[in-house]
Amino acid sequence: MLPRPTTHSKALGPGVAGPELAVAISAVLDRPPKPVSHLPLSGAQPCAVDPAALCDPRQHTKYPYVTGTSVMAIKYKDGVLVGCDTLGAYGTTKRYKSTQRIYHVNSKCVVAAGGEISDFQYISNLLDELTTDDYRFDDGIELSPQEVHSYLCRVMYNRRNKFDPLWNSLVVGGVQGGQPFLGMVGMIGTHYTDSHVTTGFANQLARPLFRERQRDDMSEEDALQLMYDALKVCYYRDKVSINKFQIAKVTKDDGVSISEPFALDMRWDYKMFAQPTKWAVGAW
């Protein structure tokens, strides 16, 4: 989120994010500004509107306060597993250690969220309203996970259009028509469905494990073991996470079950944790 120098610096070559030059040399300073059609010459950010400049007393979301970290989910033979930890962090303070970040929508579908917890509570309220409508209709028909996913896509995209996003990355998991369903929606409306979805840090830590080991016809034991390994990796490497997880299981036969919070065995006595550079060349 901090403005960073790009990794395609002409001086240093591609893939290297070097420091900005401390002193801008005359060749850089005297260069005339290249006309770029998509950027205004005034130097402003393209298409950015500052609500304060519009003299609007309402403020729009600028940064999240209490946040949840990654969510990870996989399909397996009987349904889907959705896992995440139970931490609500206040910046880097581990403030709320018993937040449930998985919301049980109906007997076919769960929604889990990373990002701002208060926005997730608002989304849970919206889903609750939809579920209550279904209940009042009393015709045995419930919202399918794909419908919930479409609905959340539109909600997130419309809030993004108002420059007031719900600061969440959502995972929708469930079973419909006997088939497992997994989808993700981001805070600017980016969405996709796949056999394994993740948000946040898990994109980089857990997704490779899923690509290696997840199969749509894997057994429940294999799927659980894969999920435990993914949760462990995210806990080892994400500083804002705790060793207290919940896994939601949605199957076509047994509906939704969200586990009680549990901990996983972690080892901190690996020599590479204690002395990461002991065997590195040139290290001290």
Partner 1 sequence: MATAAPYQLGNPLSKVHAEAAEGHKTHATWSPYDDNGGTVVAVAGEDYCIVAGSTRMSTGFNILTRDASMLLQLTDKVVIASAGMQADRKALHKLLQHRNVMYQHDHGRPMSVSATAQLLSNTLYYKRFFPFYTFNLVAGLDEQGRGAVYNYDAVGSYERSGYFCQGSGKELIQPVLDNQLKAASPLLLPPRNSITALPLDQALDLVKDAFVSAGERDIYTGDKVEIFIITKDGIRRDELQLKLD
Task: Write out the residues near partner 1 by the rule CB under 8 A.
Answer: 1-3, 38, 45, 47-50, 52, 61-63, 65, 90-93, 153, 157, 160-161, 163, 165, 184, 186, 188-194, 203-204, 207
Q: How far apart are CB 107 and partner 1 at their closest, in Å?
A: 27
* Beta carbons of 156 and 188 less than 8 angstroms apart: yes
Measured between alpha carbons, how far is 52 from 157 in angstroms, rounded to an integer? Answer: 22
Catalytic residue among 61, 69, 92, 277: 61
Which residue has 């079950």 as its token pair?
257
Minimum CB separation from partner 1 for residue 122, in Å?
A: 18
Q: How far is the CB of 127 from partner 1 (least distance, A)?
A: 20
Residue 132 falls in the annotated catalytic set: no
* Two structure tokens written together for 167: 């600061």
Using DSSP's 3-state secondary structure scheme, residue 202 falls into helix
Task: Specify the residue, 206 or 256, whose C-beta has the smaller distance to partner 1.
Answer: 206
| Choice between 131 and 203, CB closer to partner 1 | 203
If the CB atoms of residues 63 and 279 are measured against partner 1, the closer one turns out to be 63
Q: What is the DSSP string of 101-126?
A: -EEEEETTEEEEEEEEHHHHHHHHHH
How many whole angstroms separate alpha carbon 87 and alpha carbon 120?
14
**Alpha-carbon distances of 89 from 19, 51, 64, 67, 69, rounded to whole Å:** 31, 28, 10, 5, 8
Instruction: For Cα atoms 202, 212, 152, give the angle at the middle one, nearest 5 degrees.
Output: 40
- Evaluate whether 36 touches 45 at the Cβ level (below 8 Å): no
Distance CA 227, CA 81 (A): 8
- Residue number, 36 or 280, with CB nearest to partner 1: 36
Residue at 213: amino acid letter: R
Q: How far is the CB of 189 from partner 1 (least distance, A)?
A: 3
Name the minimum Å distance from CB 266 to partner 1: 25
Which residues, in sequence order, are bridge partners of residue 181?
174
| 163 vs 273, beta carbon nearer partner 1 | 163
Q: Which residues are part of the catalytic machinery?
A: 61
